[in-house]
Amino acid sequence: MIVEALLWNFAILVGVVLILWVISVQIDDVSFIDAFWGAGMAMLALISWLRLAEPGPLATLLMAMTVSWGLRLGIYLLRRWRREGEDKRYKLILKKDREKGNFAIAALTKVWLMQAVLLFMVSSPAQYGILESGSVQPISGLALVGLAVYAIGIFFEWVGDWQLARFKADPANEGKVLDTGLWRYTRHPNYFGDFMAWWGIWIAAASAGWWVAAWTVIGPLFLSFTLTKWSGVALLEKGMDRSKGDKYADYKRRTSAFFPRPPRK
């Protein structure tokens, strides 16, 4: 039952991804996939919840946590894409394929399908937790611990993004480095927020059974890796080092890369 539901979820995800891929080929830009990262996870959680005849308290909590996180992030990144245009990361990834006339195939294989698999994997705690908890699972103490961890993440992510948007909107800050607010304590409060939000969702989902925790821990583990070592902090800071120079080097010496702490003197 649950395996069948997860397979249907994946089939729906692939169908939506193929539609979005066609759009990206038509406009010659895949950058809006970042907005689908959060929105797609929200979609899978909602679909999982709708599969239940009578969703229980834990299932509804997990759905609400995932949908509120995903929709906010999706809308934020979609607006940023509309404002700033094609992302430099995707320009670099697809540069050679564009030159060879292979943009469509490369966009499908290197970007859309790959991210669909990763999106499905990262969101597995929400999907499996919702389906496993069904109509009877209550909200336990462990689920409340997960909700508390999630709330910390939401605070850092939402406030961090808001502070960054305000900073960028002020022309006087051109060439400067944001080092106030949450950005005083971590160079990436939004990434740290993502990290905490999904570990919180995993903890809440684990209250449905130890097997849920065991089968889905790959989701937050992979997200932690990608945020800190792959496409998150590591990739972003390469660009910041080039564009901000000594100002960013000084900021890096003073400020924690990921986990918040008081700045060094």
Residue 232 has pLDDT above 80, yes or no: no
Q: Give me the domain span that covers residue 175.
A: 140-265
Single residue among 138, 161, 187 that ends a domain in this structure: 138
Tell whether 215 and 194 lie within a shared domain.
yes
Which residues lie closer than 8 Å to 51 by C-beta, 6 or more apart?
5, 131
Q: Where are the alpha helices (DSSP H) in the chain?
A: 2-27, 33-50, 57-84, 88-100, 103-106, 113-122, 124-133, 141-169, 189-206, 210-216, 218-228, 233-244, 246-254
Tell whether 254 and 131 lie within a shared domain.
no
Tell whether 161 and 131 lie within a shared domain.
no
- To the question of pTM greater than 0.85 for the whole model, the response is yes
Tell whether 107 and 164 lie within a shared domain.
no
Residue-level pLDDT at 236 = 81
Confidence of residue 238 (pLDDT cuts 50, 70, 90): confident
Tell whether 26 and 53 lie within a shared domain.
yes
Are 172 and 183 within 8 A, CB to CB? no
Task: Report the number of distinct structural domains present in the chain.
Answer: 2
Residue 243 has pLDDT above 80, yes or no: no
Single residue among 96, 112, 138 that ends a domain in this structure: 138
Single residue among 138, 173, 197 that ends a domain in this structure: 138
Are 80 and 215 within 8 A, CB to CB? no
Tell whether 49 and 149 lie within a shared domain.
no
Tell whether 84 and 164 lie within a shared domain.
no
Tell whether 114 and 144 lie within a shared domain.
no
